[in-house]
Amino acid sequence: MGTIIEANNLRAYYITKAYGVERTVKAVDGITLRIQEGEVYGIAGESGCGKSTLLRVLLNAYNPPLTVVDGEVVYHLDGERVSAADMNEERQRDLRWRTLSYIPQGSMHVLNPVRRIRDSFHDFISAHRDVSKAESFALTAKYLRDLGLPEKVLASYPHQLSGGMRQRVTIALATILWPKLIFADEPTTALDVVVQRGVIQMLKDVQQKEGSTLILITHDIGVHANLADRIAILYAGKLVEEAATQTILESPRHPYTRFLIESLPSLDSREERLSIPGRPPALDRPPSGCRFHERCPLAKDICKTIEPALIEIAPRHFTACHVVEEELSHASA
Amino acid sequence: MRQPKPLLQIENLSKIFHIRQGFSSQEFHAVDKASIIIESDKPEIFAVVGESGSGKTTLAKMVLGMETASEGTLRYKDRVVNDISSKEMKTWFYREVQPVFQDPFAAFSPLKRIDGYLFETAANYKMADKKEAPRYINEVLSEVGLTLAEIAGRYPNELSGGQAQRVAIARALITKPSLIVADEPVSMLDASLRMSIVNMFRNLKDHSEVSVIYITHDLATAFYAGDRIAVMLRGWIVEMGPTEQVLGNPLHPYTQNLKNSIPSIRASDAWKEKIDLAVIETDEYTRTGCKFAGRCPAVMNICHDNIPPSVQHQGRSVKCFLYEDDGAPTSQKIAAPALG
C-alpha cells in the first residue's frame, strides 16, 4: 500500500498585523510526514502544540491569518499526485466528504437542532449525490444498522440523543459517503470513559470496513493506544518522535514523550506522579535550539542553540533529540 | 469525647426536573436520594464520578447553593443550607464553600485583567485591606504554585490553561474556604498539566486543611486523588466507599463497566467485547427498576421493575440486587460478570 497523504517540510504560520504590531505564531514549523493508505495515524500533543493547525492544513481547509509559508501537502488519489495548493475551489468541494472527511469534536454544534437526524443525513447526502429522500433514508438506515446504531435515532432530534450517541451519529454522518481519508479532531474528548469506548469501537469499525485511512488527533494517549497504528508526538509546532504505537508506549526515547507517558495516572498505584515541569512555550517566540530544552531535565548546552534533526534511531522509529543521538553514536563507536 | 459535627451532611437529596412534551409533563430525577457525609475533623478529597448526564453537576450545584433541592436536606456545618438567610449566604456560606469550574477561560472575562479578580474577591470578603492585599494574594497564589508578579496585569488569554485554572483555584482559596467543589477542573487541560492540578489538590488537602469534592469523569485521576469515591448513574449513587476498594475491586456492574472502559496503554488490556450505550438519555432516567438494567450484563428479572436497595457490602455501599444480603452475593454465577 502506498502513501495517501504527505507533508513536506510544512510550515504554517498565523501572521497577524494589528495597530502596526506584527505577530507571527509558528504553529506548524517544518513538519514532514507520510501517511500510508489504510493506516490509523495518531497525532498526539498538548493544546497549543499545533496539532489542530496541522490538521487544518492537511485538510486544506484554512484561511488567513493562517498561511502556509513553506512546504506542501500532497494527496495521492487514485494514482494521481495532487498538491493541495494547486486545487481549485471546485475540485476541493468535490473531494470534501467524498474523499476527505472530517469528524469534529463538539457534536452538539454539528447537527441541526431543528431537524431530525434523518433529514440532516438527507441534506448531507443530497448535496453530493443525486438522490431522492426515500433513497437517502434507505441508505442512512442501512448504514446506521451496519454500524450497530439503533434505528430509533433516525426520527430523533439531536437534543434527545445522549452525548455519546450524538457523537456516533456525527461520525456516521461524516463517513456515510465512504471517504478514503478521515480526519478526526479530538473525537472523544469531553466524553466519559464508557461512551469513549463506544466511540473508539465505532471509529475502528468504520475504518476497517472500507480500509479507510484515519488521522486521529487527540492529547489522550490512552485513546491512541487503542486505535492508532503509528503515533507522531508533536511539541511546539515540531514533530519530536514518530514510531509504531507499541514502540512509543513501551520504549519512548524523546524526553518529552517519556514524560507524557510516565505522567499518565493509572489504577495500579496511587503513588505520587510527577507532572512535566514548566509549560508549553508560546509559539510567537519559540525557544532557540530544541524547543523542549527549557523543560528538559537532560538538556545540555548544545540543546539551547542547535535544533535537533529528526533522525531514524531504529527502523521506522524517528526522534529529534541531541541526547538520544549522542547515546546512539557512543553505542555504535 | 464528642463526635465533631460533619462538615457536610447530605441526606436523601433529590433534584426533580419536569420535562414538558405538549400538554403532558414528565418528572425526572437528576439527583435521586443522594446521601453523603464529609467529616470535618480530617480533610479529604471526595471524588464523584459518572458519565455525562449522571447528575454530578446538579449535585455540585446543590452543594454550592446554586440550585435548591427538591427533596431532602443539605447541612453545612450542622446548618440547613436552605434555611440560611440570603445575607448570611453572602457573608458566610459563599466564603466557606467555593467553586472551581471546568473551563478557566469561561470563568474569567477576556476583557479584564486576571489579577483583578483576586483583588476583588479579597476586597469583597474583607480578607485584607488595600495595603495588605498584594502580600495576601501573593501568599494565596504561592499555594497554587504561582506568584503575583507572574500574573499581574495579564489578561486570561495570555495564560496557559493550567495557569488560568490555578488562578481560578487561587481565587477560590482567597476566602479561606473549608470546602472546594471542583466540577471537572482538569477535563479541559492537557495530560501534562492535568497532573499538576490534581497534585495541587492533594497538597491543599494536606497543608491547607481544605476538603475537596472532586467531580470528574476521569477515573484515573479520581483514583489518584480521591480518598473516597461515589459512582453516579442517572441520578443514583450506585457505589460509594474508599477509593482503593471501590475502584480496586468494583462490585456494582456499572462500576466494573466504567473501570474496564478506561483505555489502557498496555496492549494486553485491549478490549475484547463490545459495549452497549444508552440511546436516549431520558429513557434511562425514567426507567422504573434499576436504571442500569438496560445495559447490565448481570441483569435479573427483579431488576426491571424494582429499585435496588443500597446495601453495605465489603466496606462500601452498593445499590444492586446482586448484593442484597450483607454476606455473599445472591448467586455466585452472576456475581462476577466478566466485562471485557
DSSP B91: I
Q: What is the mean pLDDT of chain A?
A: 86
pLDDT in the model for residue A253: 92
DSSP A156: S
**Regarding predicted confidence, which is higher, A119 or A1?**
A119
* In chain B, % of residues over pLDDT 90: 34
Instruction: State whether B161 and A219 contact (CB < 8 Å).
Output: no
pLDDT in the model for residue A319: 93
C-alpha–C-alpha distance, residues A103 and A162, integer Å: 18
Pairing label, strands B97-100, B179-183: parallel
The pLDDT-based confidence of B275 (bands split at 50, 70, 90) is low
Q: Which residue of B has its CA nearest to A281?
A: B160
**Regarding predicted confidence, which is higher, A9 or A266?**
A9
Instruction: State whether A197 and B275 contact (CB < 8 Å).
Output: yes
Instruction: State whether A264 and B191 contact (CB < 8 Å).
Output: yes
Q: Which residue of A has its CA nearest to B249?
A: A267
Give the orientation angle of helix A255-262 with respect to helix B191-208, to 10 degrees.
Answer: 50
| Segment among A87-91, A276-280, A307-311, B39-43 with least mean pLDDT | A276-280
State how far residue A305 is from chain B, nearest Cα, in angstroms.
Answer: 25
Instruction: State whether B280 and A165 contact (CB < 8 Å).
Output: yes
Q: What is the pLDDT averaged over residues B193-216?
A: 88
Residue corresponding to grid cell 474523499 = A99
**Regarding predicted confidence, which is higher, A71 or A195?**
A71
Pairing label, strands A100-103, A181-185: parallel
Candidates A205, A267, A283, partner chain B, best to mutate (most B CBs within 10 A) = A267
Instruction: State whether A198 and B277 contact (CB < 8 Å).
Output: yes
Q: pLDDT, tens digit, for every residue of B164-181?
A: 888 999 999 999 999 999
The candidate with the shortest Cα–Cα distance to A37, out of A6, A7, A3, A8, is A3
DSSP A161: B
State how far residue A83 is from chain B, nearest Cα, in angstroms.
Answer: 33
pLDDT in the model for residue A153: 87
ipTM, two decimals, is 0.72
pLDDT in the model for residue A147: 78
Q: pLDDT, tens digit, for every residue of B124-141?
A: 888 888 888 999 999 999
Contact present, A120 and A153 (Cβ < 8 Å): no
Pairing label, strands B228-233, B45-49: parallel
The pLDDT-based confidence of A234 (bands split at 50, 70, 90) is very high
**Regarding predicted confidence, which is higher, A97 or B185?**
B185
Intra-chain end-to-end CA distance of chain A, in Å: 37
Q: pLDDT, tens digit, for every residue of B301-311?
A: 888 888 898 88
The reported pTM is 0.79
* In chain A, % of residues over pLDDT 90: 21
pLDDT in the model for residue A232: 94
CA angle centred on B278, ends B274 and B279, rounded to 5°: 110
* In chain B, % of residues over pLDDT 70: 88
Q: What is the pLDDT averaged over residues A187-206?
A: 81
User: What stretch of H or E contains B49?
Assistant: strand B45-49
Please return the burial class of A1, using the count of CB atoms within 10 Å of its CB with bins 0-12, 13-18 and 19+: exposed
Q: pLDDT, tens digit, for every residue of A241-251?
A: 999 999 999 89
Instruction: State whether A197 and B271 contact (CB < 8 Å).
Output: yes
**Regarding predicted confidence, which is higher, A46 or B301?**
B301
Q: What is the pLDDT averaged over residues A202-218?
A: 88
C-alpha–C-alpha distance, residues B170 and B100, integer Å: 10
List of chain B residues whose C-beta atoms are within 8 Å of the C-beta of residue A225: 263-267
C-alpha–C-alpha distance, residues B203 and B45, integer Å: 11
Residue corresponding to grid cell 436520594 = B33
* DSSP annotation string for B205-223: HHHH--EEEEEES-HHHHH
Which residues 6+ apart lie within 8 Å of B182 measured at CB?
A: B99, B100, B169, B201, B212, B213, B214, B215
Q: What is the mean pLDDT of chain B?
A: 84
Instruction: State whether A150 and B279 contact (CB < 8 Å).
Output: yes
State how far residue A164 is from chain B, nearest Cα, in angstroms.
Answer: 8
List of chain B residues whose C-beta atoms are within 8 Å of the C-beta of residue A270: 223-224, 243-244
Instruction: State whether B248 and A267 contact (CB < 8 Å).
Output: yes
The pLDDT-based confidence of B1 (bands split at 50, 70, 90) is low
Q: Which residue of A has its CA nearest to B49?
A: A192
Q: Of the segments B14-18, B20-24, B79-83, B236-240, which one has the largest average pLDDT value? A: B236-240
Give contacts of B 13-52 with A, CB under 8 A.
50-52
Shortest CB distance from A221 goes to which of B193, B248, B265?
Answer: B265
Cα dihedral B261, B265, B270, B274 sign: positive
Instruction: State whether B267 and A246 contact (CB < 8 Å).
Output: yes
Residue B125 grid coordinates: 470578603
Question: Helix or strand or coil: residue A301?
Answer: helix
Instruction: State whether A226 and B270 contact (CB < 8 Å).
Output: yes
pLDDT in the model for residue A84: 84
List of chain A residues whose C-beta atoms are within 8 Å of the C-beta of residue B219: 193, 267
Q: Is B282 on the interface with A (CB under 8 A)?
A: yes
Contact present, B186 and B216 (Cβ < 8 Å): yes
For residue B272, pLDDT beyond 70: no
List of chain B residues whose C-beta atoms are within 8 Å of the C-beta of residue A205: none
Q: What is the pLDDT averaged over residues B258-281?
A: 70
Q: Is the peptide bond before A308 cis (omega within 30 degrees of 0)?
A: no
Distances (CA, A) of A213 to A100, A187, A240: 10, 15, 22
DSSP B81: G
pLDDT in the model for residue B328: 44
C-alpha–C-alpha distance, residues B210 and B206, integer Å: 8
For residue B148, pLDDT beyond 60: yes
Instruction: State whether B278 and A162 contact (CB < 8 Å).
Output: yes
State how far residue B7 is from chain A, nearest Cα, in angstroms.
Answer: 26
| Segment among A117-121, A227-231, B284-288 with least mean pLDDT | B284-288
What does CATH list as the number for B8-248? 3.40.50.300
For residue B160, pLDDT beyond 90: no
pLDDT in the model for residue B334: 39
pLDDT in the model for residue A202: 83
Q: What is the pLDDT averaged over residues B203-211?
A: 89
pLDDT in the model for residue A86: 83
Instruction: State whether A221 and B192 contact (CB < 8 Å).
Output: no
Which residues 6+ apart lie within 8 Å of A254 measured at CB?
A: A233, A240, A241, A292, A319, A320, A321, A324
* Half-sphere exposure (Cβ direction) of A53: Cα atoms closer than 13 Å: 29
For residue B336, pLDDT beyond 50: no
C-alpha–C-alpha distance, residues B62 and B47, integer Å: 16
pLDDT in the model for residue A276: 74
List of chain B residues whose C-beta atoms are within 8 Å of the C-beta of residue A267: 219-220, 223, 247-248, 259, 262
Q: Which residues of B123-143 are buried (b: 16+ CB within 10 A; e: fewer)?
A: eeeebbeeeebbebbeebbeb
DSSP A225: H
Going along chain A from its start, the domains and CATH numbers come out as 3-99+179-280 (3.40.50.300), 111-177 (no CATH)
Length of chain A: 333
Q: pLDDT, tens digit, for every residue of B85-128?
A: 989 888 899 999 999 988 888 889 999 999 999 999 999 888 88
Rg of chain A over CA atoms, in angstroms?
Answer: 21
Locate CATH 3.40.50.300 in chain B: 8-248
> Between chain A and chain B, how many beta carbons pairs sit less than 8 Å apart?
146
